[in-house]
Structure 1
Amino acid sequence: MIERVRIREELLEYLLELARDFYPNEFAGFLREKGGVFEEVLIAPGGHFGRTSAFFNTWMLPLDEEIKGTVHSHPDHVCSPSPQDLWFFSKFGGVHLIICYPYSAADVVAYDSEGNPLEIDVVP
């Protein structure tokens, strides 16, 4: 069972920047893990990023065993997963980050595939 998520500080800063850039729309991506640390984000081509949802086709992802999680933003102050988020978490598995407005490091919450919160460790 996953209890903690390790994410590279540079990636976290980039994800916060993406969330700010996409505002007032959501953005979504896939997280690549190397050596137990999330280090990169992939934005699937052909996605839709709207004010209340983000959609992407997982068939557009490369075959990559290092993709172990997802990230998406909420353009409001609610960092908890919606019913749609929980459905997606259960289908994709892994770790899921939600970044909510106003998009600071304190506005990032990690969840497992069942929607249980996880601790986040930011590493240099």
Structure 2
Amino acid sequence: MEAVRIRRELLEYLLELARDFYPNEFAGFLRERDGVFEEVLIAPNPHFGSSSAFFDTWMLPYDESIKGTVHSHPGPSPWPSQADLNFFSKFGGVHMIIAYPFTEDSVRAYRSDGSRLGIEVVE
């Protein structure tokens, strides 16, 4: 299975964000450098609710290093919802979902079409 690469420090930070926002979702954009996700960007004026996260992509700066998205699910399902799949198809790239209880085992990555990718954590 093809895998996305993410820095351990970023993954740990994303897990902490998911815990901090619980019981609401959080969402952000992933910046990639040299094939590895290294930073998260939270869009201006987001709405993080218990069943959805919303942000205006028009508010993002032009940034070619943004190659993916990440959001949390306050429930235990790491699978993308229909709304997630609709968003994936519009944004492109890689999409990570962090499900409750927000551990490394509850993180999944998907392509824009919803097919699953592996995750490789790098130091």
Q: Shorter chain as normaliser: what TM range? A: over 0.9
1:87 aligned counterpart, secondary structure: helix
**Alignment match, 2:87:** 88
Q: Structure 1: state its 5+ residue gaps.
A: none
Is residue 79 from structure 1 mapped to residue 78 from structure 2 by the alignment?
yes
TM superposition score normalised by structure 2 = 0.99
Compare 2-11 and 109-118 and name the one that shifted more: 2-11
Cα distance, 1:4 vs structure 2: 1.2
1:121 aligned counterpart, secondary structure: strand
**Alignment match, 1:50:** 49
Matched to 1:14, the amino acid is: Y
Task: Measure, in 1, the Cα distance between the counterparts of 2:19 and 2:91.
Answer: 25
RMSD between superposed Cα atoms in Å: 0.9
Is residue 8 from structure 1 mapped to residue 1 from structure 2 by the alignment?
no
For residues 4-46 of structure 1, the C-alpha deviation after alignment (integer angstroms, 9 at most, x for no partner) is: 1000000000000000000000000000000000000000011
1:109 aligned counterpart, secondary structure: strand
Q: Spell out structure 1 runs of 4+ moving beyond 3 A.
A: none
**Alignment match, 2:113:** 114
For residues 26-80 of structure 1, the C-alpha deviation after alignment (integer angstroms, 9 at most, x for no partner) is: 0000000000000000000111000000000001111000000000000000000
In the TM superposition, 1:11-50 aligns within 5 A as: 11-50=10-49
Query: How many correspondences in the alignment?
Result: 123
For residues 61-111 of structure 1, the C-alpha deviation after alignment (integer angstroms, 9 at most, x for no partner) is: 110000000000000000000000000000000000000000000010000
Q: Structure 2: state its 5+ residue gaps.
A: none
Task: Measure, in 2, the Cα distance between the counterparts of 1:41 and 1:116.
Answer: 22
